[in-house]
Structure 1
C-alpha cells in the first residue's frame, strides 16, 4: 500500500527543536514525511540529509522553466499531501493563517492544499492568553483547521502555564486517527439538502425563513473530504419552493446511499395570487400545511439512510427520531450564537436508544464530528454493503 504523505510544517518557536523527533515518530508509523520550515524555524532546527522546503524562490529559481513545465513546486506538494501537520505553530503563523496571508512557502502551501490541516500551537503563556491570539485561534477554527491545544507545564522561557507543545506521541496518534477518517466514506454517494424554501404570496412577495444553508454546506464539504461523492441541493439555486425540492428529492434519491436533509422547508404554503397585491387594503392569507419531505424520502428509495435536521425555537424536553428518519439532529435556533446565520452550531444527534451532544463550535467542525461519529459507531451501516 502506498505510504500516506504528511507535510510537517515547522514555524519559529523554541518547540521547533522537537521537529526531528516528531518526524522520526511519523516515519516509524509508515508515513512519508516532507518538511517545510519557515525562515525563523531554520534558526532552531537542523535536519541533515533531509530535503527541507523553506523559500518559495530558492537560488537558481528559473521562471521560464516553471512556465514550460507548468508545474509550481509548492502547489504540487500541496496537491500530493494527505495531511498537513503544523508543529509548532507560533502566534505569528496563526495570525497569518487566520487572515489568509501567504508570504512564504508554508503559508502559501496551506492556502493551496485540499488536505486536512492540524495545527499545534506552542508559545509563552501570556502570548497564548492574549485576546488577539484567541481571536485568531477562533478564526483558524472557523476555517476548518483542527487545533491540538498546548498543555500546561514549565515553558522554555521559565514561565509556568499553558503553552507547551502537546506530547509528540499524542500528536502522532491524532494524525493516525485523522487519516483513517479521510477515506471513511470513499465510494459512497451522499445527497445533502440545504438552505430555505420560498412560498410565493404573489408575483413579488413570499414566505420564507432565515436559513443560510451553512450547516448543509459544511456537511457536504466534510463528506467530500472523507471521500464521498456528494451532491448539494441548495435553496434559491437548485430549488425555490417546497414542492420544487420534493420533486428534486424524488428524482435524485434513488441514486444515493444517504441523505442529510438539512434544508429548512417551509411548513406552510399559500395560494399564489398573480401580479402584486395592493397594500391599500387588508389581505387574508390562508396558510396550508405542506407535505413533510422527510416522510416521503424512503418511499422514493427504501434503502437510503436518512439523517434529518430539526430546528427548534427552544429545545423540547423529549427529543425523538422524527418522520421515519434513521437519525434526527436537533439545534436551537432561538440562540443567536448558534442560529441560522451563525457560523457556529450546537446540536444533539438522536438515534433509537441514543443521544449525542456536540457542544458549540464552528459548523465546519460540527459537520466533521457528526460524520465521524456516524461512521465510527454505525460502521456496519455506513461502510458495509447495506449502507
Structure 2
C-alpha cells in the first residue's frame, strides 16, 4: 500500500530520533519515496547523512538553505508529499503545530502542506500527560491530524510509562492500514447531517435541543479519511469543518430539509445523525415579544420528517438513521428502521453515562436490514464513526454474507 507513495518524514529533537533511521529504511523497503526534514534539535541526536544514505534523497535542515534556486524548498516539499509523518513528534513540535508557529524548515513545511499528517509522539510520561500537551493534541485531532499513540515502557529519562515512540514496524503497519482504509469509500458520495436545528419564536428566542454535532462531524471526518466525497449539512454548532469535507450550514429544520433533498439524488451513502426538531412554533414574531402577566402557550406545528421522506424516495442510496432513546432502545430502534425504510440504524441510549449529546464518547447498537447486528461499547465518537462506516461499506459492496 506504500509503493510509490511520497512521504515526508519530520524528525524532531528527542532521543527517539535514532528510531527514525530504522523507520526511514523500512519505508524505503516498502517502496515509498522518503524525504527527511530535521529540526536543529534532532541533529544533536543523529546526523543528516544517516538519513541521506538510507533514503537516497536530500535531507532538509535549514529553511534558508535553498538547494534549488528555481523554487522555494519548503513549499515544494509540502506540495510533493502524499503524506507527512512526524516521528518522533516532541512536545515542542506538537505545541508549535497546534499554535501555527513556524520558525524552522519542518514547521514551515507543515503549515504549507495539504497532505495528511501523522504524528508519533515521544516524550517523558509526565510531559505527555501535561494539560498543555493534551490540549495541543486535542486541537490537532479536531483539525484532522492523525496520531500514532506512543507505547508504554522504559523511557530514556529513567521513568516507566507512556511516552516511548512506537516501534518502526508498527508505524509502517498503521500507515499501510490507513492507505487500505482509504479505498473503502473511494469514489463514493456521502451525505451526513449533524447538529441541532433552531426554530425561532421571535428574534431573541428559539426552540432547540442539546445536540453538539460531534457525532455527525466524526462521521464526516472518518468518511473523508475512507476516500469519500463528503457533504456535511450542519445545524448551528461550534465545531471546525473536518479536512476535505464540503460543509453546508443551516439553522432551521426546513432549511436542513431543503439542502438534504437537493443533494440526495447524487449520493451513494446518506447518514442522518442530526437532531432535527419535530415541531416548530406555528407563528414566528418579527419583533421581540414583551413579557406579560400569566402563562403563555406556544402553538406548535410539525416539521417535515426528513428521514421518512428519504426512505420513501431512495433509489440506489444506502440510508442510515440515528435514534436517541432512553428506554427499550432495541425495540424502538428496530421499529424506526422499518418505519423509515432504512438500510441501517445506530441507536444510542442517551441516558447512559458518557453517551449521547455533548460527550466525546458514545455507546450504540447497530442494526441493518440485511441482519447485521453489532453492539458497540463506550468508545470515542470517531472510533464509532469508523466502525459504522466500515460496516456500511462492506454491505454496500456485498461484503456481508
Q: TM-score range by the shorter chain?
A: 0.7 to 0.9
Q: Give the aligned partner of residue 37 of structure 1.
A: 38
Select 1:318's aligned residue among 325, 330, 350.
Answer: 330
User: Structure 1's 93 and 252: CA in aligned 2 closer, same or farther, altered over 3 A?
Assistant: closer
The whole-number CA distance in structure 1 between the counterparts of 2:350 and 2:278 is 16
Q: In the alignment, what sits opposite 1:145?
A: 145
Aligned residue in 2 for 1:303: 316
Tell me, yes or no, if the aligned pair for 1:315 and 1:331 is still in contact at 8 Å. Answer: no
Following the alignment from structure 1 to structure 2, what is the Cα–Cα distance between the partners of residues 34 and 247?
A: 47
Asked if residue 279 in structure 1 is aligned to residue 291 in structure 2, the reply is yes
Gaps of 5+ in 2: 237-247
Partner of 1:308, secondary structure, is strand
1: CA distance, partners of 2:397 / 2:327:
32
What SS class does the counterpart of residue 34 from structure 2 fall into? strand
Tell me the CA shift for residue 340 of structure 1: 4.7
CA distance in 2, matches of 1:336, 1:113: 39
**Cα distance, 1:112 vs structure 2:** 3.0
| Superposition deviation, residue 378 in structure 1 | 4.5
**Partner Cα distance (2:394, 2:131) in 1:** 45
Matches within 5 A, 1:1-387: 3-45=4-46, 46-49=50-53, 50-58=57-65, 72-202=72-202, 205-235=205-235, 238-276=249-287, 277-281=289-293, 282-312=295-325, 314=326, 318=330, 320-321=333-334, 322=336, 323-331=340-348, 340=357, 344-352=360-368, 353-357=372-376, 359-361=378-380, 365-366=382-383, 370-371=385-386, 373-374=387-388, 376-383=390-397
The Cα shift of 1:266 comes to 0.4
Equivalent residues, number? 371
Q: Cα–Cα, structure 1 residues 306 and 37, in superposed 2: closer, same or farther, change >3 Å?
A: same
How far apart in 1 are the matches of 2:34 and 2:398? 32
Q: Distance in 2 between matches of 1:105 and 1:384?
A: 47
- Structure 1 unmatched runs, 5+: 67-71
Residue 248 of structure 1 deviates from its aligned partner by 3.4
Change (3 A) 1:164 1:299: same
Give distance in 2, aligned partners of 1:256 and 1:293.
15
CA gap of 1:119–1:272, structure 2 versus 1, over 3 A, is same
Displacement of 1:350: 1.0
